[in-house]
Chains A and B, each alone.
Chain A
């Protein structure tokens, strides 16, 4: 393979990522599809703008976030019902406005708001958790070329931690997708 390969290494680092740079979104998407077909799961694409069809090319399934939000929303709803039933109906029953102590319509605003609140918490913090955030540093930022990911270049990164990763064959596989350039990035953390 004639693709130029460089290594960005730091003291005591170990190989963490294989970063391939592409000129066009199409080449990037083809590379992603090739990795998907080879059974890779721990790889990502980095593009300056959303590329239609990339999710399918990467073989991404449904996000789990919806389920987290659903569970949190139901928890909020139940919390609201339990709170009002206990406070107004059991612990301190009091007639307000001639309505019964346990009065379903009066539940709705509080239960609705709690459902929304916990759903929103589920969405925001669930997203944080699934993305392993907050994370102050990622080895990919060791690459100078990677800055172009927000400008005019398209990247595919493969983690060394992927079960399919092979130190010899994976760079060859990536090189066969015609990248501009390949970089091996080492982790600075450990």
Chain B
């Protein structure tokens, strides 16, 4: 990121950066298209991974902006514009979603309904080995029995009665369990409803991003206080809406890759991920803006200190939520819940990735960010190091969320080395989605000042100090 202008009060980025990003994005998309032609299923999973790696940043940026309006925050005004740039490109994900829409049959085992994804989950009962193809389609009675809906929550008890009665073999029980779980979800995991929801998410996100961005950038020239009031007035309801759409988008596009698995905390986990991602991005971009002089003296040590505190806090929150999800599933050890960690925590290549996430996404950044000094002194180099590490681990975490499902879809057991097989398409999709997204962000950055010069609290934010 280079400063185009020497005038420090101009606060504008050069117009070349976004073209470079667009070039990278075009190359990445071209590679992805070649990958799609070569192996459509692998492409689909790589693409979902890339899509979520950047969608989470855009959603996190929107959360950040809403949070500042919710709390009438003065401290964050000079860094809020950076988040607004990353938010403003959220609508482009509606276009970037099209390859996923075209790949639903490759990705979502429930799409065709017949199989209910039961074969998708090898060895759901733990170490009983692979019995994927032994599953036949769900019994019609269960699949179409509307009374099965409440059984999604209480089905385990009935299951136990079957065991006590000794009337069914273990495999048959497990099979009926899948059928029950899947039958209870058919109303939700259906083509029409899925499409309606996706359209709704994108309409809502587009409205939010464009409205908040317009309010802020319009104020640069008009200095109209009503624009701040408008953003603050919409913030409470918008935060609820964003929380719900984020949760359900995570359920729809990521959790339903493994449709017989469910975790009610999954949406919160993705929310925590978005926050870690955006604070990492804000630290890195603010550092670059300050180092290049584009932001003048608007972003100070005090802002880095607070961004660092929030990055630390949300990363601990992320670890807390991630562990909560693991812990409850591990302790209860119910087959349709353990399948998620069976794919990621069995002795095999994904366990190594899981441990890498534990140490490099939590333990090491925790140690790096704990001290006040690392956030304030030595030019924030340690803070930036931690932010870069967390951003890389964010991408690794998205990979870890998505790609084990690919191995499962191909019937590759999690204990075999082939379960983790990085592919050039992963990189192509990452560069494709990331390039397009960053091009949109950097284009906006070249069109508007990188700090909200018209905000009534701008001067206060420049002088802000942690006491």
Contact = CB atoms under 8 A, between A and B. Distances in A.
Interface in A58-101: 62, 66, 70, 97-99
Interface stretch (B179-187, B246-254, B327-335): B327-335
Interface string B349-375: 000000000000000000000111100
Given A97-B333, A105-B326, A105-B330, A66 B467 contact: no
A29 to B, nearest CB: 13
Interface string B216-245: 000000000000000000000000000000
B323 interface: yes
Interface size class of A (residues with CB under 8 A): 10 to 19
A62 B372 contact: yes
Contact of A66 (B327, B333, B371, B463): B371
A113 to B, nearest CB: 12
Interface string B412-456: 000000000000000000000000000000000000000000000
B333 A52 contact: no
A62 B327 CA distance: 38
B7 interface: no
Interface size class of B (residues with CB under 8 A): 10 to 19
Interface in B301-336: 323, 326-327, 330-331, 333
B465 interface: yes
Contact of A53 (B326, B327, B330, B465): B465
Given A105-B327, A108-B327, A109-B327, A62 B373 contact: yes
B326 A66 contact: no
Contacts of B333: 97-98
B200 to A, nearest CB: 38
A108 B325 CA distance: 13
A45 to B, nearest CB: 13
Nearest to A69: B370
A50 B464 CA distance: 12
Nearest to B371: A66
A106 interface: yes
Contacts of B463: 52
A1 B323 CA distance: 67
B331 to A, nearest CB: 6
Given A105-B327, A105-B330, A108-B323, A52 B465 contact: yes
Nearest to A49: B467
Interface in B156-176: none
B27 to A, nearest CB: 43
A106 B331 contact: yes
Contact of B467 (A52, A62, A98): A52
Contacts of A52: 463, 465, 467
A160 to B, nearest CB: 29
Interface in B277-323: 323
Contacts of B327: 105, 108-109
B272 to A, nearest CB: 16
A77 to B, nearest CB: 12
A109 B330 CA distance: 13
A97 B329 CA distance: 12
Contacts of A70: 370
A105 to B, nearest CB: 5
A52 B301 CA distance: 14
Contact of B331 (A50, A62, A97): A97
A97 to B, nearest CB: 6
Contacts of B331: 97, 99, 105-106
A66 B323 contact: no
A167 B62 CA distance: 61
Query: Which 9 residue pairs across A and B have the least CB separation, nearest first?
Result: A50-B467, A52-B465, A105-B330, A105-B327, A97-B331, A108-B323, A108-B327, A98-B333, A52-B467
22 contacts: A50-B467, A52-B463, A52-B465, A52-B467, A53-B465, A62-B372, A62-B373, A66-B371, A66-B372, A70-B370, A97-B331, A97-B333, A98-B333, A99-B331, A105-B326, A105-B327, A105-B330, A105-B331, A106-B331, A108-B323, A108-B327, A109-B327
Given A62-B373, A105-B330, A108-B323, 8 more contacts: A52-B463, A53-B465, A66-B371, A97-B333, A98-B333, A99-B331, A105-B327, A106-B331
Interface of A: 50, 52-53, 62, 66, 70, 97-99, 105-106, 108-109
